[in-house]
Amino acid sequence: MAVREAGAGRGVSHVHAAHDHPADPAAGARWSDHAERVLREAGLRTGGGRSAVIGVFAAEDCVLAAQDIVDRLRASGGPGANLATVYRTLDTLRDHDLVHRLDPGDGTARYERAQPGGEHHHHVLFADGTIEPFHDDALEQAIEALAGRLGVDLVGHDIVLHAAPRSA
C-alpha cells in the first residue's frame, strides 16, 4: 500500500499524511467497536457477512473497492461474504456515516472507513494509480471561508488532487 509520509510535510505542523501508520490496530479496533455499536443501536442484527466486512475495514486502513473486500476475505481463509452482501453492507455503513465513498473517476467506487469524530481527509491520486491520503488544516479553512463567500450551507466536500508519480 503506497501510503507513505509526505516528506516535505515534516516540520510543517498542520500537514501530514492521514495514515502515518500503515494500519493502526488500535484505530481499527476503535472504529469497528463504534461501527458495531451504531448498527446495533439502529436495531440491525449481527450477521456473518457484515461482520466480516467490518473486520476488513478494521484491519485495512486504506481505500478498498467492493471486489477488493471480497478478495481479502477469501484470501484470509476465514468466513467470506458474497459480493452482493458487501455492497449491501457498504450501503448500510454509508447510511450511518461509518464509511465514505470515493469516486476516483475510473468507474469503480472505493470505500474507506470514516473517523468517528468527523475527522476526514482527502486524497492525492498519482498517475500510476496510487492513492495517498492527506489532511491539511489550511485547506479546510479555505473551504470554510469559501462556503461563506458562496453563501451555501456546506454539508461536505470531496477533494482529489492529481499528481505526477513521485520522483523520489
Residue that is written with C-alpha cell 452482501 in the block: 85
* Residue 9 DSSP symbol: G
Residues in 3-62 at the binding interface with DNA, rule: CB under 7 A: 39-40, 43-51
Of the candidates 84, 113, 117, the one whose C-alpha atom is nearest the C-alpha of residue 101 is 113
> Which residues contact its own copies (rule: CB under 8 A)?
6-10, 12-13, 15, 101, 103-105, 109, 124, 126-127, 134, 136, 138-139, 142-143, 145-164, 166-168
Q: Determine the length of the chain.
A: 168
Is residue 76 a contact residue for DNA (CB under 7 A)? Answer: no
| Closest approach of DNA to the CB of residue 148, in Å | 33
- Spatial separation of the C-alpha atoms in residues 114 and 101, rounded to whole Å: 9
- Spatial separation of the C-alpha atoms in residues 166 and 81, rounded to whole Å: 36
Residue that is written with C-alpha cell 493502526 in the block: 24
Nearer to DNA, 85 or 134 (CB): 85
Supply angle C-alpha 50, 55, 58, rounded to 5.
130
Say which entry of DNA, its own copies, none residue 66 contacts (CB below 5 to 8 A, set by partner kind). DNA
The site for DNA, by CB under 7 A, has a size of 30
89-124 core/surface letters (b: 16 or more CB in 10 A; e: else) = bbebbeebebbbebebeeeeebbbbbeeeeebbbbb
SS3 118: coil
| Closest approach of DNA to the CB of residue 125, in Å | 16
Is residue 145 a contact residue for DNA (CB under 7 A)? Answer: no
Which one among 2, 12, 29, 83 touches DNA, defined by CB under 7 A? 83
Say which entry of its own copies, DNA, none residue 156 contacts (CB below 5 to 8 A, set by partner kind). its own copies
Residue 149 C-alpha cell reads as 463567500
Q: Binding mask 84-103 vs DNA (x if CB under 7 A, - otherwise)?
A: xx-xxxxxx-----------
Binding site for DNA (CB under 7 A): 1, 39-40, 43-51, 65-67, 80-85, 87-92, 107-109
